[in-house]
Chain A
């Protein structure tokens, strides 16, 4: 077991707690940078998609994991980001500007949805966001001049400094850059006063209010931030899809995002990433599974849904803290081997239980 012996006050603010973490994450980043040089275009394309979902998952984690607000409509922010980005590109806005602008448009929409979120929470908030996503889907279908309606709209393939984004490898590096930037921004934000305020609002609104935190502003702000990040993912998704139609952004995508943050582990950035990787790789896993299953079973339709449901049920029953919780347990086991204390992660106090998981 590692102990933190801080000799200076600022050490408590460090981005990564241990020097070894810098090495580990450095190696991971280096590996991700090298992948396109050695892997096939197909693999690189798959990884790009995983990275896009990581951004979206981080967006929802900001809302659900850190401020405890539930959203079943995050696909609509992906859609707003995607359509906003494609529209800006089509109107001659350079890619470098269109990407953040799309995020801003989506963040604006997030603020609008965030306002009712001050008044409702829990199931009611879930219903509000669900209704919002249905409205957005209809608006996209009807607003032909901007979105191309149900027939869809083509996304232009821009080039940055003469390098076309159409190449899978270039696109991969772009996605990786965005993920790293978003991750760093969120990690820093969460260590700042705002991040602490988010967590405070999640754990107890009353206590946060008593401490002088502007609860309403935090809740709306979290919605805007979350929508902005998700919109950024949408802008990247637009390039992944290449031709936007409303059926890319249905409830299925929203539910996938919720699955990611729940399975990943609420309240952890690492969980958001792990969840996105697991959920996006699930279809590949099922495809592999089908190869070994007997023909009669492999050809059944709906196997994918069954596996996704089984995975979710498994996590809810056996690992409520998600992949992140499991990761920490495994790490603790390895660090202390062979001296593992079974009760290390047993929860001692059910703190403020009534207000958790709102």
Chain B
């Protein structure tokens, strides 16, 4: 096809204009004196009990930024909607936030299924999705590499893999057993265990699954005992971790190491389990701070939180606070002319390190990197780091 220069110019200009109109840099929710953002949390579903901490801490971070004059003179307003732990309700909540409230971004939205269902809707409309509380790799897979999605939650598979690749040679473990939860969480844990063992030229000796809600782990532990494993990888959350450990102690089985993944390495496990969890190893994804912490930043956060909400923040609250601050810093870095594009640039240029992180983090392919972990051990009711973060 022959085209003269003017025609070419005209058609390319038209193409540019078309492309621009198809996906303009979204600046919804950005007003002269206000930035409106939102979130959907599980306020009435199975995880409702954990939501106040997440919500309070995020609000605290935003209130502190607002009190300091806002972001380039704009106050930040965070609208919380209920997703009830159900994807279809989450879709409604996000539709409301995007279409009715016209939010600029979603920050600290909670849930795997709920975030999975709403991710396409969010990034497809040009809304920023920052720090969804869900499996990060899955989120990126759903969003198809969309630049509007920024994940901060550590991947359970890669962190488990790196931890195992370090501890198995160190401890000289020969026979590895896995206890995992049926469902997405268990799938992720095994997706970390299997490649780790493969790279060390080993295979899993025995596996035992449990169902969400199980409280008795005698059959699982007995099965691993029968297989005579010397390392148990426990893909367990709070109660399950304690359950597995008390079963191990009950059997008097002391020549085995139990290593729990990131969700199990929680302050509550150490406190709840008492004697039973002494000696339990855990993969740490963030630093833990008690009320007696010596870290000034952490102390300031705990004090501010207690003043505002009359309770002591847990690690979820601290993480929500940390993520929210990273988001606010990204907003600052985006400059006065705020839209989705400038935010993406700003977030990619922002590094993050505070009282929760093991080192300085930045976004790499829109995921918080490096994923530093440490190996901790319960000693005297507290998690004590056994390694430098790596």
Contacts and interface: CB of A to CB of B under 8 A. Distances in A.
Contact of B92 (A49, A149, A245, A303): A49
Given A42-B99, A141-B183, A151-B187, A243 B120 contact: yes
A304 B99 CA distance: 23
A180 B281 CA distance: 60
B88 A241 contact: yes
Given A243-B120, A301-B52, A283 B86 contact: no
Given A154-B142, A250-B86, A299-B52, A283 B182 contact: no
Interface string A171-188: 000000000000000000
A150 B184 contact: yes
Contact of B91 (A241, A287, A303): A241
B87 A241 contact: yes
B86 A252 contact: yes
Given A49-B92, A154-B142, A241-B117, A303 B44 contact: yes
A46 interface: yes
B55 to A, nearest CB: 8
A47 to B, nearest CB: 11
A283 B89 CA distance: 9
A240 B88 contact: yes
A215 B120 CA distance: 48
Interface centre among A41, A245, A252, A305 (most CB of B within 10 A): A245
A151 B134 CA distance: 11
The binding surface of chain B is classed by DSSP as helix
Contacts of A286: 82
B187 A150 contact: yes
A43 to B, nearest CB: 8
B48 A301 contact: yes
Contacts of B95: 42, 45-46
Contacts, number: 101
Contact of A253 (B48, B55, B86): B86
Interface string B129-147: 0000000001000100000
Interface string A271-310: 0000000000001001100000000000101111100000
B384 interface: no
A232 interface: no
Contact of A152 (B81, B96, B113, B121): B113
Interface in A230-244: 237, 240-244
Interface string B40-68: 00011100110110010000000000000
A127 interface: no
Q: Chain A, interface size: which category?
A: 35 or more
Given A40-B100, A151-B184, A243-B119, A301 B86 contact: no
B85 interface: yes
Contact of A283 (B82, B116, B138, B187): B82
B236 interface: no
Contacts of B51: 301
A247 interface: yes
A38 B88 CA distance: 25
B112 interface: yes
B44 A305 contact: yes
Contacts of A247: 85-87, 112-113
B84 interface: yes
| 7 nearest A-B pairs in the assembled complex, by CB-CB distance | A42-B99, A304-B44, A150-B184, A42-B100, A247-B113, A245-B113, A301-B48
15 contacts: A49-B91, A150-B184, A154-B120, A241-B117, A243-B142, A247-B86, A248-B86, A252-B85, A253-B86, A287-B81, A301-B44, A302-B44, A304-B44, A304-B84, A305-B44
